[in-house]
């Protein structure tokens, strides 16, 4: 989309990227509108699921710090309302103000939290784990990518449906607005810089982040197993389970830190979780507004507020539908996310072909292919004419009478070289 918008002058719409495949009349007709509606649908429910999960995590943080007892649905809905107000205000302020400020704050807080866990946790273990984990990942990538429930038992089926498939669908549901948002902030970059920025850098950061937090959790559970303690798990009737909503806060509580510092780090983690979801939802609101206003780079504020409020409302309704078990209601939202993301897989595959077709028609690519073709034909002709004798390729400026001063003729020296040859 970045290439089509800023290189080819197309509208900032998902459908516009298919111009090279379907043609301008098709992408501006019902087919293009359907693609854009599909992108809005996937973004809406993907963001709403994120908002609901964020509310559950923040609620768990309030419980971990002892500020509240068991968190009920009204409190979670209130958290969603506060988050919604924050990300709507951020989206309305624009990319260069609220969104940029929150993103910068987010990065600083994330680095601080990671450094605290790295220093207070098993530092040496983490340093040893990261290279080993990268090696294991490279070794098992092909096998794990093709793994299905046909080669496992009920536990594997539960894992694949609850984690692999859901996260696969969740990330795909984020692709419309993340792709468009990154395109908006990447104007002036080359494709090489763009790919490096969105693939290589986040991958390295993810390895470090998961190495620190995953390694710390792994070490805590190992030591707890040696001491016959539950560690990060909760054992009920002999069955071990993990509170995923409160896993981060339980990890912090198991670090060797004073009580006041533990409470402060939990607050830091809660704020970071909130900003994470705010920065994602504000971008989603802005992009949904752009998609629904024919690709406008500056959609109306009322439209931004509408989509942001609707996103929060969907998350709140799903939490209310769960009654006393709001996390169960979010399972339904997760299934909706999977359904919304599935058709967008086809869109993503077609986008790959559309981009390849556009790049082959790019003037830089055409000039390169034309130059290669001309040189190849010239060499072939030279070999045939000179019958294997060494020769030079030179250029000649055929000016005729268009150059008034022979000394300034750009082809003068070339003509002499050509005559020599």
Kindly state whether residues 348 and 400 are assigned to the same domain. Answer: no
Kindly state whether residues 380 and 350 are assigned to the same domain. Answer: no
The model's pTM = 0.77
Kindly state whether residues 385 and 280 are assigned to the same domain. Answer: no
Containing domain of residue 390, as a range?
A: 371-420
pLDDT, position 135: 93
pLDDT, position 235: 64
198 DSSP 8-state letter:
I
Q: Which residues pair with 241 in a beta bridge?
A: 234
Kindly state whether residues 329 and 407 are assigned to the same domain. Answer: no
What stretches in the chain show pLDDT beneath 70? 96, 234-240, 322-330, 332-333, 396-421
Q: Which of 341, 361, 381 is the last residue of a domain?
A: 361
Kindly state whether residues 377 and 343 are assigned to the same domain. Answer: no
Q: With contact defined as beta carbons under 8 Å apart, do 315 and 51 qualify?
A: yes
Kindly state whether residues 295 and 253 are assigned to the same domain. Answer: yes
Give the whole-angstrom CA distance, residue 132 versus residue 188: 38
pLDDT, position 136: 92
| Alpha carbon separation from 79 to 213, 270, 313, 323 (Å, rounded) | 25, 12, 12, 16
Kindly state whether residues 346 and 384 are assigned to the same domain. Answer: no
The answer as to whether 296 is a domain residue is yes
Instruction: Give the count of domains, the chain.
Output: 2
Q: Which of 342, 361, 380 is the last residue of a domain?
A: 361
The answer as to whether 366 is a domain residue is no
Q: Exposure pattern of 280-308 as b/e (b: 16+ CB <10 Å)?
A: bbbbbbbbbbbbbeebeeebeeebbbbbb
Give the whole-angstrom CA distance, residue 64 versus residue 340: 34
**The CATH number of the domain where 92 resides is what?**
1.20.1740
The answer as to whether 75 is a domain residue is yes
pLDDT, position 127: 94
Give the whole-angstrom CA distance, residue 103 versus residue 165: 28
pLDDT, position 3: 82
Q: With contact defined as beta carbons under 8 Å apart, do 266 and 61 qualify?
A: yes
* Cβ count within 10 A of residue 315: 32
Kindly state whether residues 264 and 232 are assigned to the same domain. Answer: yes
Q: With contact defined as beta carbons under 8 Å apart, do 290 and 16 qualify?
A: no
Q: With contact defined as beta carbons under 8 Å apart, do 8 and 358 qualify?
A: yes
* Cβ count within 10 A of residue 413: 12
The answer as to whether 233 is a domain residue is yes
Kindly state whether residues 274 and 310 are assigned to the same domain. Answer: yes
Q: With contact defined as beta carbons under 8 Å apart, do 275 and 109 qualify?
A: yes
pLDDT, position 414: 39
| Alpha carbon separation from 150 to 141, 145, 299, 311, 343 (Å, rounded) | 18, 14, 48, 37, 24
Which uninterrupted H or E stretch holds 234?
strand 234-236
Q: Which of 335, 361, 387 is the last residue of a domain?
A: 361
The answer as to whether 303 is a domain residue is yes
The answer as to whether 183 is a domain residue is yes
Q: Where are the alpha helices (DSSP H) in 185-246?
A: 191-195, 201-226
The answer as to whether 48 is a domain residue is yes
Kindly state whether residues 336 and 224 are assigned to the same domain. Answer: yes
Tens-place pLDDT, residues 253-290: 888 888 889 889 999 999 998 898 888 888 888 888 88
The answer as to whether 330 is a domain residue is yes
Kindly state whether residues 263 and 377 are assigned to the same domain. Answer: no
Provide CB contacts within 8 A for 198, sequence distance 6+.
182
Kindly state whether residues 218 and 333 are assigned to the same domain. Answer: yes
Express the helix, strand and coil content of the chain in percent, nearest 5 each: 80, 0, 20
pLDDT, position 237: 63
Give the whole-angstrom CA distance, residue 249 versus residue 122: 17
């Amino acid at each position: 989309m970045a290439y089509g918008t800023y290189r080819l002058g197309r509208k900032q719409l998902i459908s516009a990227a298919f111009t090279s495949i379907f043609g301008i009349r098709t992408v501006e007709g019902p087919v293009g509108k359907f693609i854009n509606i599909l992108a809005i649908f996937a973004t809406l429910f993907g963001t709403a699921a994120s908002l609901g999960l964020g509310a559950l995590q923040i609620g768990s943080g309030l419980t971990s710090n002892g500020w509240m007892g068991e968190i009920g649905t009204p409190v979670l809905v209130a958290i969603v309302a506060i988050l919604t107000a924050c990300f709507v205000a951020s989206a309305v302020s624009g990319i260069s103000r609220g969104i940029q400020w929150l993103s910068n704050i987010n990065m600083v807080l994330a680095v601080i939290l990671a450094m605290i866990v790295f220093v207070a946790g098993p530092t040496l273990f983490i340093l040893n784990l990261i290279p080993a984990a990268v090696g294991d990942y490279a070794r098992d990538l092909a096998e794990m990518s093709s793994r299905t429930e046909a080669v496992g038992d009920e536990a594997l089926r539960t894992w694949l449906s609850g984690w692999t498939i859901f996260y696969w669908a969740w990330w795909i549901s984020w692709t419309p607005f993340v792709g468009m948002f990154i395109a908006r902030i990447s104007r002036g970059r080359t494709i090489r810089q763009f790919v490096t920025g969105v693939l290589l850098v986040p991958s390295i950061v993810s390895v470090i982040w998961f190495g620190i937090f995953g390694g710390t959790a792994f070490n805590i559970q190992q030591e707890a197993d040696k001491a016959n303690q539950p560690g990060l798990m909760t054992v009920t009737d002999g069955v071990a389970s993990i509170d995923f909503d409160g896993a981060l806060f339980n990890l912090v509580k198991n670090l060797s830190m004073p009580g006041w510092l533990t409470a402060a780090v939990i607050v830091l983690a809660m704020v970071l979780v909130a900003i994470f979801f705010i920065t994602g939802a504000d971008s989603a609101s802005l992009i949904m507004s752009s998609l629904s206003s024919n690709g406008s780079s500056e959609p109306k504020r009322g439209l931004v507020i509408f989509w942001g409020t609707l996103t929060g409302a969907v998350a709140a309704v799903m939490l209310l539908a769960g009654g006393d078990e709001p996390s169960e209601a979010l399972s339904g939202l997760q299934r909706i996310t999977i359904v919304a993301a599935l058709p967008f897989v086809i869109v993503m595959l077609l986008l790959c072909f559309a981009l390849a077709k556009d790049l082959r028609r790019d003037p830089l690519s055409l000039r390169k292919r034309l130059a290669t073709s001309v040189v190849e034909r010239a060499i072939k002709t030279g070999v045939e004419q000179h019958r294997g004798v060494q020769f030079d390729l030179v250029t000649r400026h055929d000016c005729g009478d268009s150059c008034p001063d022979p000394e300034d003729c750009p082809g003068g020296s070339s003509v002499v070289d050509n005559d020599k040859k």
